[in-house]
């Protein structure tokens, strides 16, 4: 599903907690039950692994000392994919699925990863290649439908369905966030569960900058359809840009990361997934290992 070149690129990166309201430089725990944080020294004892010996201390003092590490729990990474009806427009669902695939790949070696869609589909949670394969399988089956909940209600229900994890959980929301309901209830639910989060806000060209003659208006009462003229397009464009600004402000005020991803922003010579990854890197959602 990913080219060898893309895999090699992703292998050099990890999810960055700095972008997710954590201490700068902190990383996800590397393996289940194994810490990456140095805690203390103690004298070497028979049975200690030689790789745990601090040879610099030995060279300086002549004492053989073993480095101790504080145990950390494996972090749960949840990738929540919006499959509501608006995601079927402008190629947003295939683009969002590609972004989710990248995120699952970056996370699968360092964390327990699980992919969910708002219609209830989910992969088996786990670490490593089996979990990645399950995550990609769920993404491949994702589709929009009239039964899908709107994003705000879906994010809120998802968050409240998780246990309180106090900093050990990370939710990556991939959505166009198009919802007349205010986003605050979803943000409060994430915060109430002690979850870190990042919002990968996927928009199509016509979502923000429609071309006159291509924007269709539907009467909510009669169902009558008509093409919008220049004045209507200008009003829509201003409203859409205001929506994005307010959404970004609400997310960042809650202490979470917001990354705007446009489906039309990929240069012709660069695959959409690589362009999305570039945006994630610039926003420091992913950083070099």
Residues 243 and 194 occupy one common structural domain? yes
What DSSP designation does 87 have?
Answer: G
pLDDT band of 220, cuts 50, 70, 90: very low
The reply to whether 228 falls in a domain is yes
Is the pLDDT reported for residue 72 higher than 80?
no
The reply to whether 3 falls in a domain is no
pTM of the model: 0.77
Higher-pLDDT residue of 138, 227? 138
Angle at 177 between CA 260 and CA 262, to 5 degrees: 30
Per-residue pLDDT, 18:
38
**Residue listed under structure tokens 């499959």:** 83
Residues 213 and 91 occupy one common structural domain? yes
The reply to whether 20 falls in a domain is no
The reply to whether 181 falls in a domain is yes
Nearest alpha-carbon partner for 36 in 76, 69, 8, 10: 69
Residues 57 and 84 occupy one common structural domain? no
Residues 55 and 184 occupy one common structural domain? no
Residues ≥6 apart with Cβ < 8 Å to 70:
35, 37, 38, 39
In angstroms, rounded to a whole number, what is the distance separating the alpha carbons of residues 103 and 276?
Answer: 10
Per-residue pLDDT, 32:
37
Two structure tokens written together for 54: 């601090």
Residues 65 and 80 occupy one common structural domain? no
pLDDT band of 25, cuts 50, 70, 90: very low
Q: Provide the CB-side half-sphere exposure for 28 (13 A, CA).
A: 31
Domain range spanning residue 64?
Answer: 38-69
Per-residue pLDDT, 226:
63
C-alpha distances in Å from residue 126, one per residue of 13, 130, 162: 19, 7, 16
* Percent of residues, the chain, with pLDDT higher than 90: 40
Domain count, the chain: 2
21-35, 53-67, 197-211, 225-239, range with the lowest pLDDT:
21-35
The reply to whether 106 falls in a domain is yes
Residues 180 and 48 occupy one common structural domain? no
Residues 175 and 49 occupy one common structural domain? no
Write the burial class of residue 124 (CB in 10 Å: 0-12 exposed, 13-18 middle, 19+ buried).
Answer: middle
In angstroms, rounded to a whole number, what is the distance separating the alpha carbons of residues 95 and 139?
Answer: 11
Residues 81 and 221 occupy one common structural domain? yes
Phi, psi of 109, rounded to the nearest 5 degrees:
-90, -20
pLDDT band of 7, cuts 50, 70, 90: confident
Per-residue pLDDT, 77:
92
Residues 65 and 82 occupy one common structural domain? no
Domain at 203, CATH number: 3.40.50
Higher-pLDDT residue of 67, 247? 247
Residues 255 and 140 occupy one common structural domain? yes
Intra-chain end-to-end CA distance of the chain, in Å: 23
Per-residue pLDDT, 154:
96
């Amino acid at each position: 599903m990913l080219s060898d070149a893309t895999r090699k690129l992703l292998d050099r990166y990890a999810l960055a907690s700095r972008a997710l309201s954590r201490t700068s430089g902190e990383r996800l725990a590397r393996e289940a039950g194994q810490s990456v944080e140095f805690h203390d020294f103690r004298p070497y004892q028979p049975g200690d692994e030689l790789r745990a010996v601090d040879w610099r201390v030995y060279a300086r003092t002549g004492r053989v000392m073993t480095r101790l590490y504080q145990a950390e729990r494996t972090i749960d990474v949840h990738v929540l994919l919006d499959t509501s009806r608006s995601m079927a427009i402008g190629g947003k669902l295939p683009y969002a699925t590609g972004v989710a695939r990248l995120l699952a790949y970056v996370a699968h070696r360092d964390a327990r990863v699980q992919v969910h869609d708002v219609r209830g589909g989910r992969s088996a949670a786990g670490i490593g290649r089996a979990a990645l394969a399950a995550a990609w399988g769920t993404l491949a089956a994702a589709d929009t439908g009239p039964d899908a909940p709107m994003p705000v209600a879906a994010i809120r229900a998802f968050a409240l369905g998780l246990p309180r994890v106090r900093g050990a959980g990370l939710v990556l929301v991939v959505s166009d966030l198009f919802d007349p309901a205010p986003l605050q209830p979803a943000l409060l639910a994430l915060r109430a569960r002690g979850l870190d989060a990042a919002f990968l806000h996927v928009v199509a060209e016509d979502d923000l900058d429609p071309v006159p003659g291509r924007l269709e208006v539907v009467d909510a009462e009669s169902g009558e359809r008509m093409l919008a003229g220049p004045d209507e397009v200008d009003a829509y464009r201003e409203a859409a840009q205001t929506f994005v600004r307010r959404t970004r402000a609400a997310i960042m005020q809650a202490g979470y990361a917001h990354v705007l991803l446009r489906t039309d922003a990929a240069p012709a010579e660069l695959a959409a997934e690589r362009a999305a990854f570039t945006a994630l890197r610039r926003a420091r959602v992913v950083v070099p290992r």
